[in-house]
């Protein structure tokens, strides 16, 4: 019995390690190793193809086919070695089969506080570590959990973050730069930083907040534009690097909000709802309208509401 299939990049190192002690002295041409385990000959080729030969080849192959399913959602047909699931999946193209740089931002809907944007690099070998931290559902992770896992992620995952302070934001000419242009400029900035760090990324992924045509037109007067971006909606659910970028930017945002809260002596509410108006009004009553420049995004409608009241 002979079983052949292609092993994924994130499983390959596990396989090499596992068979290290069972390696044969001779390595066939174009092979990384050849090993023998209880009568089955296992050959891993440089192309990524792995061959199992022997009466119980299916038992040995099954271990790896199961791992492919667990880590990569691949369903491999043991008889043909073909991906059953990937035939259907082809168009959705699982982004987590790649090493990626992804970016995300936070603070765009909050009247108080900065906009924080972050780009992160996640290699295929980091996937297991991140899956253990349950990084994938970043939107569902509450702020307490963010504070726990963000520092762990930041120690291991290369990232670049930028904080656009309220003063910087308010200094922009908002008749010329809308929020999407601000986002495009900030994403490009952090992506450019990471792209130049000599990381082995295969794709760059950005949450599609605007069609790609618009994204690049916002950057038409910018030098150092990062190209070849894969734009996709709900990217933080599909791509681990975007999920990490989302968690890190959220963490930095919360840290900044904490600092600002310390300065004003009271916990600043998030969002842009009526409780936020109330809070801002109190602040203005105590310290005057000028204080807002340092703490809020002045072009939000909330400012008008505070003035009228």
The site for Mn ion (CB under 5 A) is made up of 104, 207
Whole-number minimum distance, CB 105 to Mn ion, in Å?
6
Report the residue number, 15 or 239, with the smaller CB distance to Mn ion: 239
Three-class HEC string of 78-112 = CCCCCEHHHHHHCCCCCHHHCCEEEEEEECCCCCE
Whole-number minimum distance, CB 2 to Mn ion, in Å?
47
Report the residue number, 197 or 234, with the smaller CB distance to Mn ion: 234
Nearest-angstrom CA–CA distance, 284 and 268:
13
Whole-number minimum distance, CB 106 to Mn ion, in Å?
8
Whole-number minimum distance, CB 191 to Mn ion, in Å?
14
List of residues 6+ apart from 178 with CB closer than 8 A: none
Report the residue number, 104 or 277, with the smaller CB distance to Mn ion: 104
Whole-number minimum distance, CB 292 to Mn ion, in Å?
26
Report the residue number, 58 or 208, with the smaller CB distance to Mn ion: 208
Q: What is the DSSP string of 49-71?
A: EEEEESTTHHHHHHHHHHHHHHH
- In the bound complex, which residue of the shown chain has the CB atom lying closest to Mn ion? 207
Nearest-angstrom CA–CA distance, 205 and 216:
14
Contact in structure between 15 and 32 (CB atoms under 8 Å): no
Report the residue number, 124 or 243, with the smaller CB distance to Mn ion: 243
Residue 176: other Cβ atoms inside 10 A: 7
């Amino acid at each position: 019995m002979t079983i052949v299939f292609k092993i994924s990049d994130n499983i390959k190192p596990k396989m090499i390690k596992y068979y290290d002690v069972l390696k044969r002295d001779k390595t066939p041409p174009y092979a990384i190793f050849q090993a023998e385990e209880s009568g089955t000959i296992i050959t891993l080729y440089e192309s990524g193809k792995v061959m199992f030969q022997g009466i119980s080849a299916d038992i040995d192959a099954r271990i790896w086919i199961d791992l492919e399913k667990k880590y990569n959602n691949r369903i491999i047909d043991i008889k043909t070695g073909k991906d059953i699931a990937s035939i259907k999946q082809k168009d959705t193209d699982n982004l987590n089969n790649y090493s990626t740089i992804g970016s995300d931002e936070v603070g765009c809907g909050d009247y108080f506080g900065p906009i924080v944007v972050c780009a992160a690099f996640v290699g295929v070998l980091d996937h297991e570590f991140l899956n253990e931290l349950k990084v994938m559902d970043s939107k569902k992770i509450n702020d307490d959990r963010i504070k726990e896992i963000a520092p762990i992620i930041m120690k291991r995952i290369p990232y670049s973050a930028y904080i656009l302070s309220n003063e910087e934001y308010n200094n922009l000419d908002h008749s010329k730069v809308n929020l999407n242009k601000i986002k495009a400029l900030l994403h490009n900035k952090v992506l450019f930083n990471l792209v130049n760090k000599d990381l082995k990324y295969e794709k760059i992924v950005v949450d599609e907040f605007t069609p790609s045509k618009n994204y690049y037109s916002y950057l038409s007067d910018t030098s150092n534009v990062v190209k070849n971006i894969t734009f996709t909606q709900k990217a933080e659910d599909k791509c681990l690097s975007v999920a990490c970028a989302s968690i890190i930017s959220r963490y930095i945002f919360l840290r900044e909000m904490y600092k600002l809260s310390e300065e004003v002596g009271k916990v600043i509410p998030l969002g842009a709802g009526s409780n936020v108006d109330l809070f801002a009004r109190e602040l203005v009553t105590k310290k005057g309208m000028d204080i807002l420049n340092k703490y809020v995004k002045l072009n939000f409608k909330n400012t008008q509401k505070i003035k009228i009241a």
